Amino acid sequence: CSASVINVTSIHQTVPYPHNSGYAMTKAALGMLTQTLSIELAPLGIRVNNFAPGAVETDMNREIIERMRKDFAEWIPAGRVAHTDEMIGPAVFLASDESGYVNGATLVADGGYSHNLVRYRP
């Protein structure tokens, strides 16, 4: 059994989000910190990984989710915003011995959202 550190980043550690540069920048920095610490702490038996949720409805963002629910349903291939309880399994996996050889990785739980954010003009 090894120790596990899980940093919560976001899909916006790699996907730009207009008018939210501070948020995206800090998530990207945390992503790089995770990768660096994963190398430094591995010899001590400590794994360090990122957990990057996509759009998840919480008390903090419920108002904007309600206003844009139809847009999110279109943007997210899964067709909806996630519920908070859907984030439990991925986090438990990263904390468990089942992910004992996972180190320095980012586990994305976003219903395919980050793959669908890149838009090309026809």
Q: Hey, CA dihedral for 107, 54, 9, 13, is it positive or negative?
A: positive
The span from the CA of 86 to the CA of 101, in Å, is: 23
Annotation says 23 is catalytic: yes
Cα–Cα separations (whole angstroms), residue 119 to 68, 75, 90: 18, 10, 28
Out of 17, 23, 101, 113, pick the active-site residue.
23
- Three-state SS for 53? strand
Instruction: List all residues 6 or more positions away from 9 whose beta carbon is below 8 Å from its beta carbon.
Output: 27, 28, 30, 31, 34, 50, 51, 52, 106
Helix (H) or strand (E) holding 7: strand 3-8
User: Which residues form the catalytic set?
Assistant: 23
